[in-house]
Amino acid sequence: MLGRRRRATVDEPVLDRVDSLQADGRVLAFLALFLLPSMAVWAGVSQHMDRAKTTEFCLSCHTMEDYGRSLYVDDRSYLPAAHFQNNRVPRDHACYTCHTNYTMFGGLKDKLRGLSHVYVQYLGTIPKTGEIKLYQPYNNRECLHCHEGARSYMETSAHQKTPDLLEKANTNQMSCMSSRCHDTIHDVTTLSVASFWKENKN
């Protein structure tokens, strides 16, 4: 009996070491199987989300090519072209600057629409360029991110035609894109007869 007791006390440190190794193994398994892959996925998604905000990414779909070309139309009445060519929006994030709530950057409905775009791109029927429409009317909020409070916006004579014009525009009661104001947006149907600005890269 004494021999057995001694063996049990000798084996306790060994058992403790085994328990410690098992606990270390579980921690290592957790890191290897859960934490590191999760961090890699997060880093990949984060990088992709940043890349998805670039103009290059937006125009990488064949369907969007003409919308990209419309940024170079040499006509000031083309609102996106005037903003793009005069650096009123950052050129490398031009699409995202004006379409901040589009697909994955918006709410849940927008994200689901983004998934439907992916489905259509690979498995569905891609609409013709001129047939692409916004899901809802363009909200003046997107314009006011930059223009609200700007002197050029507040004081321009076109915005002073009626006493309540600015108030209506600021509260989205009147669209900047209609009412014969800034109504030439991405007019991709007339690109065949348009002249294009050539950027001077000096």
Quote the tokens at residue 12: 């306790």
55 Cβ partners below 8 Å, 6+ apart?
A: 68, 91, 92, 93, 94, 95, 96
Question: Is the distance from CB of 69 to CB of 193 less than 8 angstroms?
Answer: no
Which regions of the chain does DSSP assign to beta strands (E)?
Answer: none
What distances in angstroms separate CA 117 from CA 32, 98, 113, 135, 177, one per listed residue?
35, 19, 6, 12, 25
Q: What is the pLDDT along the chain (202 residues), one digit of tens a residue?
A: 444 554 545 456 655 665 666 666 777 777 777 877 888 888 887 787 788 888 998 888 888 899 999 999 999 889 999 999 999 999 999 988 888 777 666 667 777 887 888 888 888 888 887 788 888 888 898 899 889 989 988 998 888 888 898 999 999 998 888 767 888 888 898 999 999 998 887 6
Question: Is the distance from CB of 176 to CB of 169 less than 8 angstroms?
Answer: yes
pTM above 0.95, yes or no: no
- pLDDT the model gives residue 10: 47
Of 54, 81, 77, whose CA–CA distance to 67 is shortest? 81
